[in-house]
Amino acid sequence: MTTRRLVEVDTPLGPAHAHVMRPPRARGTVILTHGASGRLGGVDLTAVRDGLVESGWAVAFVQQAWGVAGRRMPPRPVPQDEAWLPVVLALRSGRGRLPGPLVLSGKSNGARVSCRTAAELGADAVLCLSFPLHPPGKPEVSRADELRLPVAAGIPLHVIQGERDPFGTPGEVRAELADPAYVTAVKGEHTIKVTVPLVEAARAFLETVS
């Protein structure tokens, strides 16, 4: 039987909330977080969460501290990362420690923080949902340097990107990575509403993680 619990973690930006779903004999842990809205509950995120739990993974669905506080926009990368690190460390320590391997995952802004902190947190893989390669209409403002950080650290990376994502098409994302196999294209925009291919792609990548 899958257990559920809420873990509140103190951070430099205030408390963060991790909604943990843990199936029996979990295969590992996915720490999944939201985009720039600061809210949980989008159809894409909930579909991935539920699909991975059904596949035997423990999932911590994290509302970051700035989202809990009701902020409408994320902080700058340095304070955001400083508030993200204690959340992951708390979930991976103590009596209720979640098991490895550890996969960091998030949508959009959550994918960025996952990429930036993967090496420091000792992640075994990073799964990006709708990575925001650039602001809409501004391809010159690239975040490719963040996207490549896990690969540079030898950490497996996979990106699931909507075919019409204004923050970067699958082709644009592939062009920034050494191997086009790092990217799966699915129907949709920045929010991927047709969730079956999204979940299938997430599950397929996690099958390669050990």
Tens of pLDDT, residue by residue over 156-174, are 999 999 999 999 999 999 9
First-to-final CA distance of the chain: 23
- Residue 163 to residues 12, 168, 178, 202: CA-CA distances in angstroms? 37, 9, 20, 16
- Residue 147 · residue 128 · CB < 8 Å: yes
The CA distance from 43 to 153, in Å, is: 31
What local confidence, expressed as pLDDT, does residue 36 receive? 95
What local confidence, expressed as pLDDT, does residue 145 receive? 98
Of the chain, the percentage scoring pLDDT greater than 70 comes to: 100
Domain ranges of the chain: 3-206
In sequence order, what are the residues at sequence separation of 6 or more whose Cβ sits closer than 8 angstroms to the Cβ of residue 145? none
Q: Is the predicted pLDDT of residue 41 greater than 90, yes or no?
A: no
Q: Is the predicted pLDDT of residue 210 greater than 90, yes or no?
A: no
Q: Which fold has domain 3-206?
A: Rossmann fold (3.40.50)
Q: Is the predicted pLDDT of residue 13 greater than 90, yes or no?
A: yes
Nearest to 121 by CA among 15, 203, 31: 31
Task: Name the packing angle between helices 109-121 and 77-91 (round to 10°).
Answer: 60
Q: Is the predicted pLDDT of residue 110 greater than 90, yes or no?
A: yes
Entry pTM: 0.97
